[in-house]
Chain A
């Protein structure tokens, strides 16, 4: 076990997968400049800078993926993905199906997002739900350094297009990463803290808010279970349903805006599949339907914080008590 940043964990994942498989290559906006160690080891043909042209970066990845390469592309910030929606959604996501399965698109598109750097809404926009809603794509958004590495390695090995979102608030915070060939499967959630009274489901930075809230709640005698989705498509229905069936209460937490966010899908699925286990209405705690501001206080206010998460969980538990005594 070593302690490294998620940024370095991604670098390790790229290096290990490029070493393992000669068809893996990386290109994007400054990746050869920023990750010079990869250029030194694998050469300029496999680690390339590109023009600041997100459409052709994503399209080139799709074309290369369909014909035998495994590209990883760096599109810098998530809102820039609007320039590559055509290539990711219409080509990478649809052409396998439309061609009757003649082609596959093993590619990874990385982009940073989230509050933390004060960069404002054109660099900070949690757009993961757009891609969850698009067929043929997979979406991951890790919360720990170990998962950044393990999910990146699995994403590279996956035969489908994977959107890999990097929460900027986590990117340079060191965490423990296991030694060796560390793989984290796509579609498997992690229980970050077991509990029995309420389930907190989250991903990326708000997982840490949930864990902090769970610690506060524990001191008050409320046992919260924290489920880190890690993958948003496919997402681990089994793990979420099992937890809710145990606790009977669900609070879904994410930074992305509330309306039609990933939390809406989780809430709807739990309502459909585990309604009888629910002791209180599901609570969603999410960012507002507004662009993210640059100002530190507004940026932080956008994100569900530990206090608000604890309060929502307390509310859910109290509501059961009041329902029971009514």
Chain B
């Protein structure tokens, strides 16, 4: 059995989140310049990604969705290979076949990304079944949004995982938006986690913009899953600060709501807290900025300089 992950310090969370944010913003800029396809960014949701992923062991598995860059980068994905995938280049994690929407990286334990909203929920119990039938105590973290929580498969997946006692950490990143529809139009309750009780499992809602709080809640949930062999529904309350899919000017978003959540930006909040408490010096913060910029410069030039897939790839990997 692998050992539990070390508790990351807040500065480590900050730098990871900065990397994710900068990656997403550069990717959006690259799209605006016509150099890559549009993406579904996770801008605003970085704390949820880094907090949950930090609570996982190396042998735990991750299922993600169309808003996956945060989960992948938090798990240690190479930003160059990730951007190469988005750009459709042969050096990407999936050889350029997945593009931005379905990136899986088996070597990182990030498997079976589905971009069908709720698709990841449909796959998670089976992955957990494999783990438990092998006798492993590893867990599956399945990331989905409040939109997926309104799909029928949400019910089927949580119910089956509960009945079969499967080790799934269901992580609902409740970002208030379901493509172009506000969550308030599609559900009457404020929280998704309260639905856990209907399946006889535990659920919890946590501030999804506080990486340390997310980490603590996820670590506890993962321990509960390993102990009780029962799934757990963790809801991270966060906000999608950019639009659904580039380009999206968010003209439909309430200005006050956006302002409220911008003021709660998980990166700015943590950075200013660490700076004002003295846990981080301005020099160290500047060094982080520099490291992130350097990594992304290298990543984007690697991706842009990578070859396209050969055309015979059109029909390879269809069958095993």
Q: A residues bordering B, Cβ < 8 Å?
A: 25, 45, 48, 50-51, 53, 55-56, 58-69, 71, 86-87, 90-91, 95-106, 135-136, 138, 159-160
**Which of B24-32, B44-52, B117-125, B253-261 makes up part of the contact surface?**
B117-125
Q: Inside 8 A of B104's CB, which chain A residues have their CB?
A: 95, 98-99, 102-103
A-B interface, 5 closest residue pairs, ranked by CB to CB distance from nearest: A63-B126, A59-B122, A56-B156, A159-B320, A100-B95
Q: What's the minimum C-beta distance from A140 to chain B, rounded to whole angstroms? A: 14
Assembly CA distance A235 to B216 (angstroms): 55
22 contacts between A and B (CB under 8 A): A51-B156, A55-B122, A55-B156, A59-B123, A59-B153, A62-B126, A64-B126, A64-B130, A67-B130, A69-B126, A69-B130, A71-B126, A86-B118, A87-B123, A91-B112, A95-B104, A96-B318, A98-B97, A101-B95, A103-B111, A136-B318, A136-B319
Q: What's the minimum C-beta distance from B122 to chain A, rounded to whole angstroms? A: 3
B317 & A100 in contact (Cβ 8 Å cutoff): yes
Q: What's the minimum C-beta distance from A83 to chain B, rounded to whole angstroms? A: 9
Q: Inside 8 A of A55's CB, which chain B residues have their CB?
A: 122, 152-153, 156
Count chain A CB atoms within 10 A of each CB in B122, B130, B159, B318 and give the residue with the most: B122
A86 & B122 in contact (Cβ 8 Å cutoff): yes
A56 & B157 in contact (Cβ 8 Å cutoff): yes
Is the CB of B197 closer than 8 A to any CB of chain A?
Answer: no
Q: Inside 8 A of B125's CB, which chain A residues have their CB?
A: 56, 59-60, 63
| A99-B94, A100-B98 as given contacts; A66 in contact with B152, CB under 8 Å | no
Assembly CA distance A160 to B163 (angstroms): 28
A95 & B124 in contact (Cβ 8 Å cutoff): no
Assembly CA distance A303 to B127 (angstroms): 41
Assembly CA distance A99 to B113 (angstroms): 9
Q: What's the minimum C-beta distance from B297 to chain A, rounded to whole angstroms? A: 26
| A100-B95, A106-B320, A135-B318 as given contacts; A53 in contact with B159, CB under 8 Å | yes
Secondary structure type dominating chain A contacts: mixed
A91 & B93 in contact (Cβ 8 Å cutoff): no
B98 & A98 in contact (Cβ 8 Å cutoff): yes
| A53-B159, A55-B122, A59-B122 as given contacts; A67 in contact with B131, CB under 8 Å | yes
0/1 string, B71-98, CB within 8 A of A gives 1: 0000000000000000000001111111
Q: Inside 8 A of A61's CB, which chain B residues have their CB?
A: 126
Is the CB of B271 closer than 8 A to any CB of chain A?
Answer: no
Is the CB of B102 closer than 8 A to any CB of chain A?
Answer: yes
Q: Inside 8 A of A71's CB, which chain B residues have their CB?
A: 126
B122 & A91 in contact (Cβ 8 Å cutoff): yes
B134 & A68 in contact (Cβ 8 Å cutoff): yes
| A51-B163, A98-B102, A103-B112 as given contacts; A59 in contact with B97, CB under 8 Å | no
| A45-B133, A56-B157, A60-B129 as given contacts; A66 in contact with B123, CB under 8 Å | yes
Q: Inside 8 A of B318's CB, which chain A residues have their CB?
A: 96-97, 135-136
Assembly CA distance A87 to B92 (angstroms): 25
B98 & A59 in contact (Cβ 8 Å cutoff): no
Q: What's the minimum C-beta distance from A202 to chain B, rounded to whole angstroms? A: 25
Q: B residues bordering A, Cβ < 8 Å?
A: 61, 92-98, 102, 104-106, 111-112, 114, 116, 118-119, 121-131, 133-134, 152-153, 156-157, 159-160, 163-164, 316-320
A96 & B317 in contact (Cβ 8 Å cutoff): yes
Instruction: Give the nearest-CB partner of B96 in chain A.
Output: A100
Instruction: Give the nearest-CB partner of B102 in chain A.
Output: A98
| A90-B116, A103-B111, A159-B320 as given contacts; A53 in contact with B160, CB under 8 Å | yes
Q: Inside 8 A of B116's CB, which chain A residues have their CB?
A: 86, 90-91
Instruction: Give the nearest-CB partner of B134 in chain A.
Output: A68
| A97-B97, A103-B111 as given contacts; A63 in contact with B102, CB under 8 Å | no
Assembly CA distance A71 to B164 (angstroms): 15
B106 & A102 in contact (Cβ 8 Å cutoff): yes
Q: Inside 8 A of B98's CB, which chain A residues have their CB?
A: 98-100
A51 & B160 in contact (Cβ 8 Å cutoff): yes
Q: Inside 8 A of A101's CB, which chain B residues have their CB?
A: 95, 316-317
Q: Inside 8 A of B96's CB, which chain A residues have their CB?
A: 100
| A69-B133, A97-B318, A135-B318 as given contacts; A63 in contact with B123, CB under 8 Å | yes
Assembly CA distance A159 to B316 (angstroms): 15
Instruction: Give the nearest-CB partner of A104 in chain B.
Output: B320
Other A-B pairs beyond A63-B122, A98-B104, A103-B111, 7, CB < 8 Å: A59-B126, A63-B130, A97-B97, A97-B318, A100-B97, A100-B317, A160-B319
A97 & B317 in contact (Cβ 8 Å cutoff): yes
Assembly CA distance A86 to B152 (angstroms): 12
B317 & A62 in contact (Cβ 8 Å cutoff): no
Assembly CA distance A68 to B123 (angstroms): 13
Q: What's the minimum C-beta distance from A82 to chain B, rounded to whole angstroms? A: 13
Q: Inside 8 A of A96's CB, which chain B residues have their CB?
A: 317-320
Q: Inside 8 A of B127's CB, which chain A residues have their CB?
A: 63-64, 66-67
B114 & A95 in contact (Cβ 8 Å cutoff): yes
Contact of A63 among B93, B112, B133, B316 (CB under 8 A): B112
Q: Inside 8 A of A64's CB, which chain B residues have their CB?
A: 126-127, 129-130
Q: Inside 8 A of B97's CB, which chain A residues have their CB?
A: 97-100
Assembly CA distance A96 to B112 (angstroms): 9
Assembly CA distance A68 to B131 (angstroms): 9
